[in-house]
Amino acid sequence: MTDVVFYFQVHQPFRLRRYTFFDIAVEDRYFDDSENKRILQRVAERCYLPMNKLILELIEKHKGEFRVSYSLSGTVLDQMELWAPEALESFQTLAATGYAEILGETSHHSLSSLTDLSEFEGQITTHADRIETLFGKRPTTFRNTELVIDEKIASLVERLGFTALLGEGADHLLGWRNAHHVYRPEGCTKLDLLLRDYPRADDIAFRYSNKTWDQWPLTAEKFARWIHEAGPEDAFVGLFMDYETFGEHQWKETGIFDFFAGIPAAVLAQKRFRFRTPADVAAEHEAVGRLAIPRPVSWADAERDVSAWLGNPMQRAANEALYAIHPQVLELAAAGDKRLLEHWRRLSTSDHLYYMCTKHFSDGEVHKYFSPYASPHDAFIAFMNVLDDLDRRVKQATTSVRAHPEKQS
C-alpha cells in the first residue's frame, strides 16, 4: 500500500502596529489587535470554517478512509480563542473524529531551533501541553516552524518523545533518494522522518489557479493520476502545505474547494492507495535508511534553507538583538513577570524576519505577497523600534527585581 498524507499548517502571526521611534519608552502596545482580528476573522470565514466543514463531510462520506493532519501554532490558537472561537471548535470537532491528527509545533512559530535549543524545548513542551488540553491527545508527530530540520533538531525532538518528524524533500538533501520513503535522521535511534513531495504539494499550493501553467486547469482526476504514478515500493506521498491555500491564497472562485472535494474518491479509485496521518505512516512503515542533515533544511524558497529568515544583515542583526535580551526576559518570568516573556515570544515568530527578506525574482514575489510592509527595510525599522522599547523595559524591570528580590513571586 502507498499512503497519501495531507498535512496542513495553520498559522497567523501577531503583526506589529506602526510603531515609530517616537513611541519608544512611551507606548508598549506593540501589536495591531484590530488588524490581527480583521485578518483572522477573514481567514476563518474564507478558509478555516468552510474547509473544516468540507473535510468533516469527506471523513464521514468515506467512513474513515480519508484522513488529514494539522499543526496549529500557538499564535493562531490565541487569535481563534480571542476572535473566532467557532473556528477553534471546528478543529476540535475534526480531531474528535479520530481521523485528523493534531501535530506538535513551537508555541510561537519561532526559529528558536536555530538560536537557542533550550527556548526551543520550552516552546515545544508548552505547545504540546496546550494541544493535549484543547484536543484531548498529546501530539506524537512534530512539525518545526517552516519545516526546518537538521540533526540537532531531530535529536531533541526524539528525546522529547515524538515518534515522527516532518521535513522538506529537498533535492540537495535527498540526492539520489526518493521522498516517498521513511528515513531516520542521523543521530536518532527511533524517530521517523517523513518528507514533503514538494512538486505535487506545490501543484495545489502555488500552481492550482495559475492560468499560465501548462497543466492548468488542474482537476482532481488529473492530480490523482499523478499520485498514482508513485511506485509500488513507495511508502507514502507527503502533501504538506499552508491551510490558508484554500479560500485565502486560492480563492473559492478558483474552484479550489470543489477540486479538493473530488480528491479522496479519485485517489481511492486505485486500491493500492489509501489516506493516512503521519502517525499512521510512522507506525506502519519501517525506515529504509539513515539520512544525514548536517545543515538546516526548510520548505521555503528555491534554496530550501533558512535564508528566507536569516539571509541578510538586517535579519541576522534583528535575530541577534532579540535573543540578546532573552536571558533577562526569562529571569523576569521566573520572578513572576510573564508579560514581557509573552511579548518577547510573539516577536520570535518567524514572520517578522520573513518580512525583512530582500530576495528578488519569483521568491521575492512570494515574500512581498505575505508582507504587510512597503519594503523589507520598513519591516526591520518597525521591529527594531519595538525591540528597543522592550529592551528598555526589560532592563528597568530586571534592575528592580534584583534590587528587591524579596518581592519575587
Hey, what amino acid is at 408? Q
- φ, ψ of residue 223 to 5 degrees: the values are -65, -40
Find, among 101, 184, 193, the residue nearest to 144 by Cα: 193
Pairing of the two strands 273-275 and 141-142:
unpaired
Let me know: does 128 contact 106? Beta carbons within 8 Å. no
Measured in whole angstroms, the distance separating CA 36 from the mean position of its chain's CA atoms is 18
* Long-range contacts of 94-98, Cβ-Cβ distance < 8 Å, separation of 24 or more: 94/52, 94/55, 94/56, 94/59, 94/68, 94/70, 95/135, 95/136, 95/137, 96/136, 97/56, 97/59, 97/60, 97/64, 98/64
Measured in whole angstroms, the distance separating CA 184 from the mean position of its chain's CA atoms is 21
In angstroms, the CA 17 to CA 15 distance is 7
Find, among 204, 221, 177, 190, the residue nearest to 51 by Cα: 204
Active-site annotation, residues: 146
Q: Which residue has the cell 515545544?
A: 124
Per-residue cell: 250? 486560492
Q: What is the distance between the terminal CA atoms of the chain, rounded to a whole angstrom?
A: 57
Which positions ≥6 away from 93 have C-beta within 8 Å?
Answer: 52, 56
Count the alpha carbons within 13 Å of 388 in the hemisphere toward its beta carbon: 15
